[in-house]
Amino acid sequence: MPFSHANPTLQAALAAHGYTTPTAVQAAVLDPAYVGRDLLVSARTGSGKTVGFGLAMADAILDGEKAHTVQSPLALVVAPTRELAMQVQRELTWLYAPAGGKVAACVGGMEYRAQMRALSGGAQIVVGTPGRLCDLVDKGALDLSKLQVLVLDEADEMLDMGFRDELEKLLQTAPAERRTLLFSATLPDATLGLARRYQKEAVRVNVATTEAHADIAYKVHVVAQADREAALVNVLRHLDAPSAIVFLATREGVHHLHSRLSERGFPAAALSGDFTQAERSRALQALRDGRAKVLVATDVAARGLDVPALDLVVHFDLPMDHATLLHRSGRTGRAGRKGTAVMLVPPAKRRLAQRLVAGAKVKAVWTDPPSLADVMAADQSRLVRDLAPTGELSEEDRSVARQLLAEHDPEALVASLVKARRESNPAAEDVVASPRAPEPSPRPGAGPPGPSGPDQGVWFRINVGREHGADPRRLLPLICRRGNITSADVGPIRIYGNESRFLVADPVADSFEQEVRRPDRREPNVRFLRA
């Protein structure tokens, strides 16, 4: 039967919450061979690990079908952020409530007195962030002397965030005979070193490689640096994801991009390291309740987020390493749901993107970003689907419809409805693809393919833009003819309202500038200048 190795009281709680089949990590921690053992578990966020370690600590918490009566906690869970700790508390609360178990949360940004009262109320389980837990130990409010199980959740994240000293303090304060469960999405050297020092003959449980990212479609769009914002707009519009997160490297970038998306009509929220806890909570709540569809965030600010399963992750700025790529992307494609991860890659960082994809051992499709035509076609398909009659119509609705049909042309009525729906969407962009073929993901052991167009060069502008019907297919022959160069010498072409800009390879830039100064009888009003 499902969860057959779990305590009967916990089985009932699981059934009441719709849990029918254990995930891989839940099945692993319930293996009778691992009872009482230290565990080093590779498991990503969204794999069901919270319930997993909740089940694993049952022997310490329960006496038969009831929780032990205690004066100090029997289990401690350490999480990297306030949001994740609160999420863990909620999960463990419903899991242990039928047995009379209490779970106290000790996190930053909340009153010490309230947390001290919770600790003195006989909580068998304490969940908290490293800094606040250490503060409470120092104050004598948190007694770890009876601790039987210590869980480090997302250990790699906590080490990356600089919590090594706090973690070591908690590990050294807890009784030596405790059981230590370490959960981590990745296992870099720092995490393995912590495990070797503080765990005893730990069983290595690796479920990350079989579960991670199987339901995530990776796409890589190579676009000019200055075109990434336009490409992002088209990605968001084309996929029309109910919820998305866009990752940037800096908080300045977050604030700028959030403002730009909001100006364009996207319901967006922002999250960066300079936010207060109240601002952070408001941003996350906006995403949870649907007031925001796009969250713009830095890596640090997004750690340990308690957000619903996301449909789309966009790497606006590339991550520093493949582990971060997996961490970011792993926020989508959870619990059997499909997700998409998109990387917007400037030409100069193409090889870095290939190394990231290869290091993460994921398959990616290299393709142009969605064009204006792609977005319009997707819009049309959605409009046809969404505006089709569904369900029963009331007599009041039909009465209004009959009056409208009697007074107006039916096609005009539907077209008016379509127009209103279409105009409610943010405008898509005419993103110009770089004149180079899409690049495939590198084969194992193969080096990255060479470039088929210049990545570096000199920018020029031409006084022909979108308002004049500019199109890359028209501009490229004109640029080559006027400048006496080949298409291989031309890099990205960007179309703006009244002008267009394009990149010319360094070796031919000076001669190109001289050539385009010559009068042209065929296009006498077209002028070229260095940008």
Encode pLDDT of 316-347 as tens digits: 999 888 878 888 888 887 656 788 999 999 88
Rounded alpha-carbon distances, angstroms, from residue 286 to 110, 273, 278, 291, 302: 21, 18, 12, 5, 15
Read off the pLDDT band of 442 (50, 70, 90).
very low
Strands 312-315 and 364-366: unpaired
High-pLDDT (> 90) share of the chain, % = 37
pLDDT tops 50 at residue 378: yes
Q: Residue 253 domain-assigned?
A: yes
Q: Which among 319, 343, 373 is the end of a domain?
A: 373
Residue 81 and residue 299 in contact, taking contact as beta carbons nearer than 8 Å: no
Q: Which among 171, 195, 211 is the end of a domain?
A: 211
**57 or 467: which leads in pLDDT:** 57
pLDDT tops 60 at residue 46: yes
Domain span holding position 469: 457-530
| CA 32 – CA 421 distance, rounded (Å) | 57
Read off the pLDDT band of 359 (50, 70, 90).
confident
Paired strand residues for 63: 66
Q: Residue 80 domain-assigned?
A: yes
2 φ/ψ angles, rounded to the nearest 5 degrees: -60, 140
Q: What pLDDT was estimated at residue 334?
A: 66
Number of domains in the chain: 3
Identify the residue whose tokens are 């100090």. 72
Q: What is the CATH number of the domain that holds 503?
A: 3.30.70.330
Between 291-300, 311-320, 421-430, the lowest mean confidence (pLDDT) is in 421-430
What value does the mean pLDDT take over residues 201-224?
78
What value does the mean pLDDT take over residues 478-489?
84
Q: Residue 15 domain-assigned?
A: yes
Read off the pLDDT band of 309 (50, 70, 90).
low
Residue 283 and residue 269 in contact, taking contact as beta carbons nearer than 8 Å: yes
Q: What pLDDT was estimated at residue 139?
A: 92
Q: What pLDDT was estimated at residue 435?
A: 46
Q: What pLDDT was estimated at residue 165?
A: 92
Q: What pLDDT was estimated at residue 408?
A: 85
What value does the mean pLDDT take over residues 388-413?
82
Residue 66 and residue 90 in contact, taking contact as beta carbons nearer than 8 Å: no
What value does the mean pLDDT take over residues 18-35?
86
Q: What pLDDT was estimated at residue 27?
A: 87
pLDDT tops 90 at residue 208: no
Residues 195 and 230 in one domain: no
Residues 58 and 154 in one domain: yes
Residue 75 and residue 153 in contact, taking contact as beta carbons nearer than 8 Å: no
Q: Residue 327 domain-assigned?
A: yes
Residues 195 and 303 in one domain: no
| CA 29 – CA 54 distance, rounded (Å) | 10
Q: What is the CATH number of the domain that holds 276?
A: 3.40.50.300
Q: Residue 425 domain-assigned?
A: no
Distance separating the N- and C-terminal Cα atoms of the chain: 70
Between 163-177, 183-197, 276-290, the lowest mean confidence (pLDDT) is in 276-290
Amino acid identity of residue 475, one-letter, is L
Residues 350 and 471 in one domain: no
Residues 185 and 222 in one domain: no
Residues 503 and 369 in one domain: no
Q: Residue 395 domain-assigned?
A: no
Q: Residue 450 domain-assigned?
A: no
pLDDT tens readout for residues 269-304: 998 877 777 787 888 888 888 889 999 998 766 665
Residues 164 and 284 in one domain: no
- Using DSSP's 3-state secondary structure scheme, residue 38 falls into coil
Read off the pLDDT band of 452 (50, 70, 90).
very low
Q: Residue 388 domain-assigned?
A: no
Half-sphere exposure in the Cβ direction for 349 (13 Å, CA):
21
Residues 127 and 222 in one domain: no
Residues 177 and 50 in one domain: yes
Residues 205 and 220 in one domain: no
Read off the pLDDT band of 446 (50, 70, 90).
very low
Read off the pLDDT band of 180 (50, 70, 90).
very high
Q: What pLDDT was estimated at residue 449?
A: 36
Between 28-42, 275-289, 428-442, 486-500, the lowest mean confidence (pLDDT) is in 428-442
Q: What pLDDT was estimated at residue 1?
A: 46
Q: What pLDDT was estimated at residue 496?
A: 83
Read off the pLDDT band of 211 (50, 70, 90).
very low
pLDDT tops 60 at residue 447: no
Q: Which among 183, 211, 239 is the end of a domain?
A: 211
Nearest to 257 by CA among 230, 223, 291, 281: 230
Q: What pLDDT was estimated at residue 296?
A: 93
DSSP 438: P
Q: Which helix (H) or strand (E) holds 411?
A: helix 410-423
| CA 469 – CA 177 distance, rounded (Å) | 75
Helices of type H across 148-240: 155-160, 164-173, 189-198, 208-211, 228-239
pLDDT tops 90 at residue 73: yes
| CA 304 – CA 157 distance, rounded (Å) | 8
Q: Please give the model's pTM, rounded to 2 decimal places.
A: 0.57
Read off the pLDDT band of 116 (50, 70, 90).
very high
Residues 357 and 229 in one domain: yes
pLDDT tens readout for residues 232-253: 999 999 999 889 999 998 888 9
Residues 526 and 507 in one domain: yes
| CA 183 – CA 29 distance, rounded (Å) | 11
